[in-house]
Amino acid sequence: FIERLDEGYDTFLAERGINLSVGQRQLISFARAIVADPRILILDEATANIDSYTEMMIQRALLKLLKGRTAIVIAHRLSTIRRADLVLVLRDGRIVERGDHASLFAAAGLYRRLYELQHPNAVGGVQRVATESEPVPAPGARARGL
């Protein structure tokens, strides 16, 4: 996305990046994290308040960023954590469920209800998630279904 900015890599960024969209600021944050190469990474609502196109770009960036790292990911948007090894489901500050996506979905508890609310067209807990190797569609393009 940097190359699509008016001045590319020479684009002036205002204080706190106010001349960038929320999604663009998040992508810059991911790039900075990759450069820092942390062993442990904490992401708090990494895909909150962004459009579907930017979410897909961030999902792809996360695949690369999280590979081989320990990450604590805080998310309301469950597509962000669908590939996590361990998901802890909190309710009123208490852990009420734990497992990976498949086991939590199969348990038909709170996680499944929340997932189905967020992804009404998902079949069997499967919703299309971007992979590293596939191209990201242009803004406004429809994402392919399963």
Residue 92 sits in a domain whose CATH number is 3.40.50.300
Is residue 112 situated within a structural domain?
Answer: yes
Residue 39 CB partners (closer than 8 Å, separation 6+): 69, 70
Task: Establish if 140 belongs to a structural domain.
Answer: no
Structural domains in the chain (count): 1
Within 10 Å of residue 74's Cβ, how many Cβ atoms? 13
- Give me the helix-helix angle, 22-36 and 52-66, nearest 10°: 10
pLDDT of 31 reads 78
Domain that holds residue 102: 2-118
The token duo for 37 is: 């190469």
Which pLDDT value is given to residue 123?
Answer: 66
Record the pTM. 0.65
> Does residue 29 belong to any structural domain of this protein?
yes
Q: Please list the residues that pair with 126 across neighbouring strands.
A: 123
pLDDT at 125: 57
| Residue 3 dihedral angles phi and psi, to the nearest 5° | -65, -20
Residue 127 lies in a domain: no
Give the pairing type, strands 70-74 and 40-44: parallel
DSSP code per residue over 71-111: EEEE-SSGGGTTT-S-EEEEETTEEEEEE-HHHHHHHTSHH
pLDDT value, residue 135: 46
Query: Mind listing the pLDDT tens digit of every residue in the chain (146 residues)?
Result: 788 888 888 988 889 888 888 878 877 887 788 788 888 988 888 777 677 777 787 778 778 778 888 989 888 888 888 888 999 999 999 999 999 999 999 999 999 999 999 888 876 656 555 444 544 444 444 443 33
* Cα atoms in the 13 Å half-sphere on the side-chain side of 1: 22
Token code pair at residue 30: 């991911």
